[in-house]
Structure 1
């Protein structure tokens, strides 16, 4: 089991407890920790239809779809904002959509043949009106003082995805808006409503459209289909949501990630969100009611995050909170349309599911309300004192932060800039005492400037970048000789040696120059090539008696210094 966590950031020590009678599993951060906490409730459903948040009564409603059989009963599970189950509402027929009235007094539920209404204080279920038969699953939204709901129908449920009867109705009657497939609805601020079309065989280029609901009659404003002329780029809609002020639309597109659009014309926003981690597929999106955050849900496996919670402003580089869900206590991925926020942004409600789509969990995430300052010291040290090309270099600095200690180390990001440009070195953890070490292996002579950044997270603000410049020199080389003290003209001289080069490996074996100096003068002997293990041997027949000196030299190269060694032998007859 891998519990919900923030990879490399704000990860809380997890406490799991079963609350008797509620079927609730809780994971909470320590009280002294300012990071987000994640409460997890196992839902009593085997399929998922809708998630609705009631801010007035602080309740969360989750509906089971169960459209696989007309004999299935309906289930609406009701939870508090703290994740405790209040009750489970059972209806005679399955429920495939939910919407809340503007005053939060009535919860509307889309039944197979009826629109039901639930009193949000007593949970008494009543019939609002009969509706067109639904065996595919309704989508519902309350907007402009009116309830809107789809009425998809297919003779056989396998044909639901391509049905042509996805008519859009309201309590006032049929609207005459329709298209192929199971159309999705989402209400937003300012009497706006979104209609989106999942891909299907009869809609190769699905759409998203914005409707004005203020006048009691739907007026379509901006609309967009996404495919290019060659058919590429088509939308694979999983979820959609308005930003808190209604100026933007977020779209969870399983083919292209999380799109951010301008509500006015559904064009791409000037700045979009960063791509999801590799292996993650967008499944849900939602903006907090206070305008601070966006939650981006995905389907991912392993240690790849399934949920990112980050600033709603895409130009804010604050690193997101990352949640990884995998296992029987968390679910494996965020379900499509599985994200809703409380109006004040204090809680994020997320529905996760297992890989088979047969089990579901409700997560209650509380983003931190406080951000603290972080400072990077401009005082650095590095070792070795003389950096050389091709050898490890450690650059050490310090970080200071306000507020409580994080449950997991903070991380700094580092780059190196040299004559060949800027190189990303990755991230490095900050120890409990605030120290950190950037590890590198510079491969170019000259100045290397290291820039250290702290990008911030939802608890800590970004810090001002700091830099440290290191002069990178050539790596040293050395030659060691072993020679006899005495030799004769008849037997000759044999000298062995070892050549050592630090730093980056030589492209070819070193070739050494050998000079001999005796009482007759100085001359150059044949060069010797160093073996793969760095050893070499010099054999010579001296030309005269007395002291003879052998000098061995390597000239160096672009990244290594030169080196020289000498040995003197006394030559006899």
Structure 2
């Protein structure tokens, strides 16, 4: 046998297993799959959301109402809708720190530490109605609104000379009236009824000042002294109770603002993260507490202290002072725990509502691509009753592909439902069913992952058993997917292996495509005598398995025997 010519030898090596190519192996299969995929824009869902506040690293105070959410971000106020989707910004501001909103959501007040002002903003058109001058009261930072009076904690950090002032918002040009002074930084403030609370966040130990503001000037009712530090502050709607967050604390302490004694604590749990933020719902029924670890948010029933809701988002830590209620939702701002310190708006939809439960059961047997599958489930309320006919969203999730919103389903009177789908791809496909909730129940989601099997494909390959070096060999075969011919134009790889002493010489020949009946053919002219193996391969596709067919040919040098 003549030696193989170097220019014709691609590689001499033991045959190795090739990595499976997960790219689409044939155009026809893509056509089949594409006819079954109808890309739809995801519908707006009332589920929780976390929204990156692009470019924001400073600020984080939040106010919400009348279908809008506002986040302080130093040189602007970022605006989002109630679903947490960003809609715009209020610019032209200097050093935005604290925010406060009227109960009806029509007016927003912003502390502008850079220009020593308070801006009054119309929340409908986002226009600045007026700027209230606070000259002589540097670094206004923290706000608390109670009735027609706005309380401002002012003072640049670690410079002393800070304090509290009050503004009568009914006046055409409100004049600042000082309440307390000589704090090291801008005091935290909270107000409700006839009570004003204030405390310096940058001294240890800290004192909580309790003022009676039923008349002007305000009078000091008393001091709750010796707190380890003060990280956040809230008041019940009637002003009878103050809730404090202290650095490193594991609970939320509640203080009687008349007797100045501790009334109770919420969430005392040494296994949980340190407390960071606190807020009380406008009706006084719920207390929202933020922590430094899982769960980052917990709701408590203020009457019983019962934990009613928990949630977590590890994107960052809650910014102190950033928790607020709006309707049945809770909003907060998360700050990433890295040098970037980027801010995210966190929406917890229906957090104050009783829970609902969705279940979803996968098919009893593995599904097959391009064949229908069915899943069943049920929607129940917290008392295990059914809410009647309810619309559910169905989302299909395929790795490395965009999510698909499928046609929704409606529950029966008993809460049961059935989801059907024809999976266009093989592999692990996840399905989410989402209920957006109702006026008396929180939204819920159920998810399952369904293993979807490939359609088995097959190849045949035929050709001569013997040949002569230098003469053309002809081969043919068929490619089928399931029991059907592969779509015309399906791509097939062709390899040729020559077996020689000590190893093999392998080369990839020009590939071929199938005809309309799944058939294919190709030719090859071996230059040297030897034992040849021809391999035709179809790669794994989105619908079919990989497969191959082999055919052996003995090639001689004319009348000379093969050595």
TM-score by length of 2: 0.50
Q: Which residue of 2 aligns with 1:322?
A: 310
| Structure-to-structure mapping, 1:40-119, within 5 angstroms | 40-44=50-54, 45-54=56-65, 57-65=66-74, 74-101=75-102, 104-111=105-112, 112-113=114-115, 114-119=117-122
The question of whether the paired residues in 2 share the 8 Å contact of 1:96 and 1:110 is answered with yes
Establish whether residue 168 from structure 1 lines up as the match of residue 173 from structure 2: no
The partner residue of 2:142 within 123, 139, 147 is 139
1:368–1:107 Cα change, 3 Å: closer
C-alpha distance after superposition, 1:387-440 (max 9, x if no partner): xxxxxxxxxxxxx972469xxxxxxxxxxxxxxxxxxxxxxxxxxxxxxxxxxx
Q: Which residue of 1 aligns with 2:186?
A: 183
The question of whether the paired residues in 1 share the 8 Å contact of 2:319 and 2:333 is answered with yes
Q: Which residue of 1 aligns with 2:256?
A: 262
1:139–1:249 Cα change, 3 Å: same
| Structure-to-structure mapping, 1:217-256, within 5 angstroms | 217-226=217-226, 234-256=227-249
1:50–1:184 Cα change, 3 Å: farther
Alignment partner of 1:161: what SS?
Answer: coil
Shift of 1:352: 1.2
Alignment partner of 1:91: what SS?
Answer: coil
The partner residue of 1:297 within 290, 298, 323 is 290
| Structure-to-structure mapping, 1:462-501, within 5 angstroms | none
Shift of 1:80: 2.2
The question of whether the paired residues in 2 share the 8 Å contact of 1:150 and 1:169 is answered with no
Alignment partner of 1:336: what SS?
Answer: coil
Establish whether residue 310 from structure 1 lines up as the match of residue 300 from structure 2: yes
| Aligned-residue RMSD, C-alpha | 3.3
**C-alpha distance in structure 2 between counterparts of 1:106 and 1:352, whole Å:** 25
Q: Which residue of 2 aligns with 1:273?
A: 266
Number of matched pairs: 314
The partner residue of 1:369 within 329, 343, 353 is 353
**C-alpha distance in structure 1 between counterparts of 2:277 and 2:190, whole Å:** 15
C-alpha distance after superposition, 1:473-526 (max 9, x if no partner): xxxxxxxxxxxxxxxxxxxxxxxxxxxxxxxxxxxxxxxxxxxxxxxxxxxxxx
Q: Which residue of 2 aligns with 1:556?
A: none
Alignment partner of 1:179: what SS?
Answer: strand
Shift of 1:306: 1.4
1:216–1:62 Cα change, 3 Å: farther
Q: Which residue of 1 aligns with 2:49?
A: 39
Q: Which residue of 1 aligns with 2:320?
A: 336
C-alpha distance after superposition, 1:49-101 (max 9, x if no partner): 421223xx232211113xxxxxxxx2101222221223211124221222234
The partner residue of 2:276 within 251, 262, 283 is 283
Shift of 1:187: 3.8
1:333–1:107 Cα change, 3 Å: same
Relative contact order, CA 8 A, sep 6+: which one is greater? 2
**C-alpha distance in structure 2 between counterparts of 1:314 and 1:268, whole Å:** 16
C-alpha distance after superposition, 1:310-330 (max 9, x if no partner): 2222444xx44222221xxxx
The question of whether the paired residues in 1 share the 8 Å contact of 2:162 and 2:187 is answered with no
**C-alpha distance in structure 2 between counterparts of 1:264 and 1:88, whole Å:** 41
Q: Which residue of 2 aligns with 1:413?
A: none
The question of whether the paired residues in 1 share the 8 Å contact of 2:237 and 2:282 is answered with yes
